A and B are shown apart, each in its own frame.
Chain A
Amino acid sequence: MIAQSVVLAAEFPPSVEDFYLPSILPWGVHDNYWFTKITFLVWVAVAAIIIFFLVSYRKPELVPTKKQWLAESIYGFVRNNIAVEMIGPKGVAFAPYLTTLFMFILLNNFWGIVPFVQLSPNSHIAFPAILAVVSYVMFIYVGIRKHGFVKYLKHSLIPPAPGFILPLLIPIEFFSNFLVRPFSLAVRLFANMFAGHILLLVFTLGGFAMISATPLLAPVSILSWVLSIALTFLEFLVICLQAYVFTVLTASYVQGSLADEH
C-alpha cells in the first residue's frame, strides 16, 4: 500500500483511476474486481461486525457487561432514535435491518480514514447501490403489503390536492418517489465517500507534488499535510453523518409507506 502511495505520488492531480486499484488475487491485474483492496475491506468490515456482535452477545445478561452494553447501545441507538422515532411503535420490527445497515455503512465508510487503508468501499458506487436497492425494494414491499398494490400506488402517487393540478403532481410524485429516491440514496453516500477520498488525495499528494517541484514550497507542503489531517477529522464527521443519513432516510421511506394518510 505504501508502494502504491509512492506510485500515486508520482501523478498529480488525482483522478478517477486512483479508485480502481489492481486486484490482489490474481496479483496486479487490472479490471478484475473479485478480490481487490475494496472487496477485501468489505469482507473485513463484515467479519468485524459479526465477530463483535457475536462475541459481545454470546452470553447476554440482565446486567450487561461493558461489551454487551456497547453492542446494546448501538442497537438501542438505531432502534429508539431512528426506527421508533421515525416509524413509530411498528419501527421495532425494522430496527434489526436498520442497525445492520447502519453498521455496514459506518464501518465501510470508516475505512476511508483508517491510516494506511484510507479508501472506503463506499466510494465505489456498487455498494451504496446495493443498499439503496434493498431500501427501495423494502419500502415498496412494505407499502404494498400494508395497503395492497393499487391502494399503495394511489397512496404514494396522488397527493391530497385539487383535481386540476393532479396531472402535474402525479408525474412529479412518481419521479421523486420511485425514480429519484434510490438514485439519490446511492449517489449521496457514494459521492461523499468519493469526494472525501479525492480531498485527502489532493492535500496529501499535493504536498508531495509541491515539495518535489521546488524545495521552496516545503512550508506549503507541510501546511497541506496538516490540512489533510484536519480534513481526516472532517471526514470522520462525514462518515458518521452519511451512515446516519442513509439509515434515517430508509426509515423515513418505510414510514411514508406505512403511513395511513399523507
Chain B
Amino acid sequence: MLTYLAAEAATTEHNPIIPAWEEIVVGSVAFAVLCFVLMKFVFPQMEKTFRARVDAIEGGIKRAEAAQAEANELLEQYRAQLAEARTEAARIRDEARADAEGIRQDVLAKAREESDRIIAAGNEQLAAQRESIVRELRSEVGTLAVDLAGKIVGEALADEARTRGTVERFIADLDTAGTAGGR
C-alpha cells in the first residue's frame, strides 16, 4: 500500500477538464461501433416493423369497412325482399279475401236459388194437390148428395143421365151461390 501511495504521489496532477486522448480514441471507437450496429441493424428494422404494424391495422380497418359495406348492402337487399314479400302477402291476402267473398256470394246465390226452387216446387205441388182434392171432393160431394137425396126421397134415381145433370146443375148453383156469397 505504501508503494501504491508513493506511486500515486509521483504522478502528475490531473486536470479533469482536459480529456485524455486515449480515452477519446476508445470512446470514439466504442460509440462508432454502437452507432453502426444499432443504426444499421436494429432501428431500421424497428421502423419497418412499425410500418408493417400500421399497414396491418389499416388493412384490418379497410377490411372491416368492406365487410361493413357488404353487410349494409345485404341488409338493404333483405329489407327490399322483405318489403316485397310483405306487399306480396298483402296482395295474396286481398285476393283470398276477394275470393272468399265471391264464394260466399256464390253459395248464397245458389242457396237462395235452391230455396226459391224448393218453394216453387212446394207451391206447385200444393196447387196440384189442392186441384185434385177439389176435384175429388166435387165428385164425392155429388155422390154423397145424390145418395142422400135418394135415401130421403126413398127411391133410386136410376136414370144416370138425369142424375148427372141434376147434380151438375146443383153444384153450379152451389158455385154461383158461393161466388154470390163471396161477393
Contact = CB atoms under 8 A, between A and B. Distances in A.
A100 B34 contact: yes
Interface stretch (A50-58, A212-220, A229-237): A50-58
Interface in B1-44: 1, 4-5, 7-8, 10-24, 26-28, 30-31, 33-35, 37-39, 41-44
Contacts of A39: 22-23, 26-27, 30
A75 B20 contact: no
Instruction: Using C-beta atoms within 8 Å of the partner chain, give the interface range for chain A.
Output: 35 or more
B23 A50 contact: no
Given A7-B4, A57-B45, A100-B39, A124 B23 contact: yes
A2 interface: no
A96 B49 contact: no
B12 A31 contact: yes
Contacts of B10: 30
Contact of A129 (B5, B11, B19): B19
Interface in A21-54: 22, 28, 30-34, 38-39, 42-43, 46, 49-50, 53-54
B89 interface: no
Interface string A10-23: 10000011011010
B27 to A, nearest CB: 4
Contacts of A104: 31, 34
B45 to A, nearest CB: 6
A99 interface: yes
B8 A95 contact: no
Interface residues on B, range: 35 or more
A122 B51 CA distance: 36
Given A7-B4, A20-B14, A126-B20, A34 B41 contact: no
Contacts of B8: 17, 30
Interface string A125-161: 1110111001000000000000000000000000000
B80 interface: no
Contacts of A95: 43
B7 A97 contact: no
B95 to A, nearest CB: 61
Contacts of A57: 42, 45-46
A28 B8 CA distance: 10
A97 B46 contact: no
Contacts of B41: 54
B172 to A, nearest CB: 130
10 pairs of A and B residues whose beta carbons are closest in the complex: A126-B19, A126-B23, A96-B43, A33-B22, A96-B39, A53-B42, A60-B49, A127-B27, A30-B11, A33-B20
Given A16-B15, A42-B27, A49-B38, 5 more contacts: A33-B26, A39-B23, A100-B43, A124-B23, A126-B24
